[in-house]
Amino acid sequence: MKNFNWSKYSKPIILVAFVIILSVLKPAEFLSVSNFISILTSVAAIGIMVSGTIFVFLIGGIDLSIATLLSMSAVVAATIITKMGGSVIAVVIGLLAALAVGALAGLLHGYITTTFAIPAFLVTFATQSIFLGLAQVLSNNNKIACTWPAFAILGQAIVPIIFMVVFALVSWYVLRKTVFGRYVYAVGGNPTASEISGINVKLVSIMCYVISGFTTAMGGIILAAQSQQADSALGAGFTNDVITAAVIGGISLLGGEGTLPGAIFGAVLMGLLNNGLSLMNVDSTQSGLVKGLVIVVAVAFDAMHHADQSRKKAKKVKKGAAAPELS
């Protein structure tokens, strides 16, 4: 076992370890199809959002406005649907409007960061309160009930999970298989070299923010459908959750590194953790502590993996250069 690469397989190991521990401790409650479905539905919105925000993380950007953008998008949808009387057509128009709002917000982020060279951290820090304010104004600071059947169905049974799977698959495909996906990694890894390689770095960056805004809006819609209401506080705490999922999933906030399966793993692990803690009747005051510790462990494993790779670097370089004299 000495040569077993623990760090490389840290993610599946952590996941399996969690499942085993919970299966042993709470076999009846944990090991049921309905419980697994409930775990996945609980993280569906995070999964949907991280499928898009990963693009921003990969180019080395950040989005601190996730929570308020998703609230605002949901409030936009709910307001329009209410005004139009809750018909199926009203729902469709409301959803399209919310997604457009998300994409536009992303466009704004992308345009400002690239054109004025302001760090994404600052831009989205500012826009988060703009979005919050708009959501409050639009909703009159009230909860808007979202019980129209055509809307509520989006949050029922496994529908959110289906959305998560579809968003994740599309995101995986784009990142893994398309030229745009390649450019995203290149821009995140070295923008100057990307520019010289003929990549329109500005356009790629703006696209990433648009995708991120779009999926954030979708996350807002799913959350509103799940809770059957929308207000300006709908997304509270979700900026942290999405960034945490990404970081647990091994996505470097410095850009250029990380995969979509990693991000989804991060989201699912958070769901497992919440589920396990509530099954074990851990008090909510303590569950924060436990969650924090698990995040530290997951991130430490990842850091070890990286340290391991940089040690290999030295080794491989030696091998590579020693080779010529053999020929």
Partner 1 sequence: MAGNTILEAKNIYKSFSGVPVLQDVHFEVKAGEVHALMGENGAGKSTLIKIITGVYAKDDGQIYWEGKPVEINTYQDCQKLGVACIYQELSVIPPLTVAQNVFLGREPRKGPFIDYAKMNKMTQELIDKYQFPLKPTTVVDNLGIGQRQLIEILKGLSQNSKLLIMDEPTASLSGQEAEMLFKIIQTLRSEGVSIIYISHRLEEVYMLSDRLTILRDGKNAAVLEKEDIIPAKVIETMIGKVVDESAGSKKMLHSNDEAEVRLDVKGLTDKTDRYRNISFQVRKGEILGLGGLIGAGRTEVVRAIYGVDKAASGEVYLDGKKLDPSPKNSIHEGIGFVPEDRRNQGFIPLLSTTKNVALTNYDIVKIQGTSISDADELAMSKRAIEAIDIRPADPNKEVGVMSGGNQQKVVLGKWLMRDLKLLIVDEPTAGIDVGAKDEIYSILENLAKDGVAVIVVTSDLQELLRVSHRILVMRKGDIVKEFKNVEVTQSMVLSAGQGVEEEAK
In whole angstroms, the minimum distance from the beta carbon of 73 to partner 1 comes to 27
Nearer to partner 1, 9 or 173 (CB): 173
Nearer to partner 1, 178 or 240 (CB): 178
Nearer to partner 1, 56 or 72 (CB): 56
Distances (CA, A) of 118 to 109, 113, 208, 272: 10, 5, 16, 37
Neighbour-count burial for 170-208, b at 16+ CB within 10 Å, e otherwise: ebbebbeeeeebebbbbbbbebeebeeeebebbebbbbb
In whole angstroms, the minimum distance from the beta carbon of 318 to partner 1 comes to 5
Nearer to partner 1, 2 or 237 (CB): 2
User: Which is nearest to 58 in space by CA: 313, 287, 255, 323?
Assistant: 255
In whole angstroms, the minimum distance from the beta carbon of 23 to partner 1 comes to 36
Distances (CA, A) of 131 to 16, 30, 232: 39, 39, 9
Token pair 């988060």 is at which residue?
128
131, 105 contact by CB (below 8 A): yes
In whole angstroms, the minimum distance from the beta carbon of 168 to partner 1 comes to 17
Q: Could you tell me which residues are beta bridge partners of residue 130?
A: none
Question: Residue 116: is it exposed, middle or buried by C-beta count within 10 angstroms (0-12/13-18/19+)?
Answer: exposed
In whole angstroms, the minimum distance from the beta carbon of 198 to partner 1 comes to 4
What does the alpha-carbon distance between residue 98 and residue 296 come to, in Å, rounded to a whole number? 35
In whole angstroms, the minimum distance from the beta carbon of 316 to partner 1 comes to 6
Binding residues for partner 1, rule: CB under 8 A, are 173, 177-179, 182, 185-186, 189-190, 192-200, 256-257, 309-325
Nearer to partner 1, 83 or 318 (CB): 318
In whole angstroms, the minimum distance from the beta carbon of 162 to partner 1 comes to 23
In whole angstroms, the minimum distance from the beta carbon of 315 to partner 1 comes to 4
Nearer to partner 1, 185 or 238 (CB): 185
66, 125 contact by CB (below 8 A): no
Q: In the numeric block, which tokens belong to residue 152?
A: 């509520």
In whole angstroms, the minimum distance from the beta carbon of 178 to partner 1 comes to 5
Distances (CA, A) of 296 to 2, 141, 247, 292: 25, 37, 10, 6
What does the alpha-carbon distance between residue 56 and residue 184 come to, in Å, rounded to a whole number? 9
What does the alpha-carbon distance between residue 280 and residue 259 come to, in Å, rounded to a whole number? 32
User: Which is nearest to 123 in space by CA: 192, 191, 198, 69?
Assistant: 69
Nearer to partner 1, 159 or 170 (CB): 170
Rg (CA), the chain: 21
Nearer to partner 1, 143 or 305 (CB): 305
Nearer to partner 1, 189 or 261 (CB): 189
